[in-house]
Amino acid sequence: MRAALGGSCEIKQRQRVSGGSINHCERFYLADGRQVFAKTHRHQPVSGMYEAEAHALELLAASKTLPVPAVIYADDELLLLEALDEGVPGSDWQEALGRGLALLHKKTRQKQYGLELDNFIGLSPQPNGWHDDWVSFWQTRRLGHQISLFASKTRAGDALVTACSQLQEKLPELLAADDEPAVLLHGDL
């Protein structure tokens, strides 16, 4: 971590913080006054996972719509972010978040659905790529991919795989009236 922060940084204090089920997370208080949030793997490192998360955070931050921690460093074993303080929510926090999300969606409209970089859902790779419509993106890159992952771990003819595959086929019919534009989203938001 010292190399990622510029070599000579003294850690004054470290504090374990929650960060989901797959990461070990800590907040570091540095002698120079900085505070950083660090994620490391509880298990074997997953190639590209932290780099993909850093890329997504940088894209969201570029919209300047909601507070997003600045990325300090990312590699296969470590993600360092600016540590944000947890504030006391005001009485209008839900409305403010809703307005921020609406502004995020307005400022990050894209011509196609997807992303140039694959990312992850937990430890599982999540393929992206570009699609001209939301339904085909959802069919192949989200629901279809998850069905394939589950099908590879269960027996042939599994009832859940069959039901999900039937749902996947009906998506164009079920979602035909939905013409939402392509926008950036982040699963941990």
Report, as residue numbers or ranges, the catalytic residues.
188
Q: Are 114 and 129 in contact (CB under 8 A)?
A: yes
In this structure, which amino acid lies at residue 53? Answer: E
**Whole-angstrom Cα distance, residue 56 to residue 50?**
10
User: Which segments within 22-162 are labelled E, that is strand?
Assistant: 23-30, 35-41, 71-74, 79-82, 113-115, 119-121, 124-126, 129-131
Task: Quote the tokens at residue 93.
Answer: 């926090």
**Alpha carbon of 16 to those of 13, 111, 127, 140: distances in Å?**
10, 41, 31, 38
Instruction: Give residue 35's Cα distance to chain centre.
Output: 22
Long-range pairs for 12-21: beta carbons < 8 A, 24 or more residues apart: 21/122
